[in-house]
Structure 1
Amino acid sequence: MNTTMALQASMLATAFMASAACAQSDVLKKVKDTGAITIGVRDSSGAMSFTTGTGRYTGFHVEVCGRIVSDIQAALKLDKLQVNYQVVTPANRIALVKNGTVDLECGTTTNNEARQKEVAFAPTLYVEGVRAAVVADSGVTRLDQLGGKAVAATTGSTSVQLLRKLKRAGSNDIKELLAKDNAEGFLLLESGRADAFVADGQILATAISQSRTPSRYQLLNEVLSVEPIAIMIPKDDPAFKKQVDTTVTRLATSGEAARLYDKWFMQPIPPSNLTVHLPPNDATKAAWAQPNNQPLEAYQEK
């Protein structure tokens, strides 16, 4: 290869690397340039992320994201930082993070290996057990009694796959009902159209606490899956991930995550001022003690 060809090859390689770098997400630059950040929220994801009406959103994960935003504002030395809320669903949340519409997804997304190929996750602050809610006097006390019954799950959630796994395990005659969101899923149970609703335990516990007659429902003791629920962010943006991880790790190790958990799961919360009554499980406490972003599959191996 002569000198001219070598120079051309070098220039092409440099251009390629620059192009690859530009292809990476750069949320911090976008935030600094626009003075705004977009948070993905849910209308009814239990005490983790929900609306109190008229465009207001709150919850455990939403408040954690608020701490992240405050640290970003300080790091970028911005006098003001506008926070925009984007409602997401299980069906569109990954796409909205991938295409840059959402910078921080603060709902109830399970961190698993398949999703890690498309997006990144902050360290886990909440480890969930996926369970089933039933009417207390239905006679259903075990998962294997759901055969021949109508069972609801939310479209796009891992609960759908778990429900289908339960069907393959011997309950083939389960009638699967897919809800557009968690509120509709619980409504299917509440109205009698479904005999059970499968979802994250805290979603179920919150929905029950906010129902007209909480004593009418119960959670089955069996857990279909133990899943790390984490804040989702764009993939291939190391600077943004470091910023997010620093805040979340500080919340976990300082005890602030535990205090926030107590606020949202053990104390009365808006808008009804009812209490979820869901103490942190051992897996959640372990995640606070040793912050990590291990996927669901690592928990299944334990």
Structure 2
Amino acid sequence: MSALLSRRTALLAAGTVPLLASCSGGTTRTAGNPAYATLDQSDAVARGPVGADLPETPTLRRIRGQGVLRQSGSVTTPGFGMMNPATGKITGFDIGIAQLLAKYLLGTPEVDTITGGADTREAILQNRSVDVAVCTYTISKSRARLVSFAGPYYVARSGVVVGADGPQITAVRDLAGKDVAVQPGAAQEALRKACPQARAVVFEESSQCAAAVRQGRVQAWSANTAILLGKAAVDARLRMTPATYGSSPFGIGLPKDDPAFKQIVVEFLRRIAADGSWRRLWEQTVGPLVSGPAPEPPAPGSVPGS
């Protein structure tokens, strides 16, 4: 397993990159926007809450013994988890959620991020290589049999990207008979249900899906709109289509054997929604890059599997 993983440490991240148009009701701005390299979520994290009188659980005891929250995350997903080349820090909405959670549990936002493919998340939660997973991790019934989810903390949809000169796709049915890149798990399942006639071509990483579209090895790529809009916003060789379908509720993945810790994380999500931390984080990451107001955070436990 360790050969598949790389480790990076993030304390207070700065900046993020473009994403999320249809999810928030606005439109994505271009990568040329000066905010692309200068966004900074550290204020939202610094103003986030610290949990008081939290119940003792095995997971919380281990995290406090480590002095850091170990999370499965991304460093290649614009807007949610991306390594900022100017600062060397991981930036985005997901890493901000992880930092807020670390601060809530530890008093300081110390996060150690482990990266890996979508098909490794359940395994590394089960074997305790990480404490949580915050990485555009879609809640599903099949995954919930293996791990627990606190959330959702954001709800995206499934979308479709093609090459700049790729086919015209206006609805998911237009993918019938086409080779479509997907990552294993939720994206693959969503495409199969929405368009069984599409030919799914499975890649472990989102960067591999994007490369397959650019190189013409597939005709389209389907994933949640949080991933796709960010990638398309920073790569002129990719074009976001208007086709959306289904729902992709993002949850915080947790080991399944500590239900008391799940309740702590659920209460954390309620707290950051109520005290404005969630909205501040959105406004300091996604907000400057899309038009329209911040969406309302979803209620924890509001989707099957959460």
**Could you say which TM-score interval applies, normalised by the shorter chain?**
0.7 to 0.9
- In structure 1, stretches of 5+ residues that fail to align are 1-24, 75-79, 268-274
Note the C-alpha offset of 1:52.
3.0
Query: Is the partner of 2:97 in helix, strand or coil?
Result: helix
Deviations 1:103-157 (A, max 9, x none): 0111011112222222222222210101111246523323222233221111x23
* Residue-by-residue CA offset, 1:185-224 (whole Å, 9 max, x unaligned): 112112222211100011110001111x27x61223331x
Residue identity opposite 2:204 in structure 1: K
Would you say 1:90 and 2:111 are equivalent positions? Answer: no
Which stretch of structure 1 is more off in the superposition, 122-131 or 32-41? Answer: 32-41
List runs of 5+ in structure 2 lacking aligned partners: 1-56
In the alignment of these two chains, the number of paired residues is 248
Q: Is the 8 A contact 1:108 1:229 kept in 2?
A: yes
TM-score, normalised on structure 1?
0.73
**Contact 2:67–2:106 (CA under 8 A) maintained in structure 1:** no
C-alpha deviations, 1:242-287, integer Å up to 9, x for none?
33222221111222212212322232xxxxxxx3x37578xx6261
Report the Cα distance in structure 1 between the residues aligned to 2:116 and 2:209, rounded to whole angstroms: 16
Q: 2:266 aligns with which of 245, 249, 253?
A: 245
Q: 1:245 to 1:67 in 2, by over 3 A?
A: same
Instruction: Report if the CA contact (8 A) 2:59-2:261 is conserved.
Output: yes
* Residue number among 151, 154, 174 corresponding to 1:145 in the alignment: 174
What amino acid maps onto 2:300 in structure 1?
N
Given the superposition, is the C-alpha separation of residues 242 and 145 from structure 1 closer, same or farther in structure 2, using an over 3 Å criterion? closer
Q: Is the 8 A contact 1:152 1:176 kept in 2?
A: yes
**Which structure's relative contact order is higher, taking Cα pairs within 8 Å and 6+ residues apart?**
2
The equivalent position to 2:217 in structure 1, one of 177, 193, 200, is 193
Distance 1:69 1:159, change over 3 A: same
Identity in percent: 23
CA RMSD of aligned residues (A): 2.7
Taking structure 2 as the reference length, what is the TM-score of the superposition?
0.72
Q: Distance in 1 between matches of 2:164 and 2:83?
A: 28
Partners of 1:128 and 1:229 within 8 A in 2? yes
Q: Would you identify which runs of 4 or more consecutive aligned residues in structure 1 move more than 4 Å? A: 278-281
Q: Which amino acid aligns with 2:284?
A: K
Q: In the alignment, is the contact (CA less than 8 A) between 1:42 and 1:89 conserved in 2?
A: no
- Tell me the amino acid that sits aligned with residue 261 of structure 1: W
Q: Distance in 2 between matches of 1:219 and 1:197?
A: 10
Q: State the distance in 1 between where 2:250 and 2:293 align.
A: 13
1:118 aligns with 2:140: no
1:107 and 2:135 correspond: yes
Aligned partner (choices 204, 212, 216) of residue 180 of structure 1: 204
Q: 1:133 to 1:158 in 2, by over 3 A?
A: same
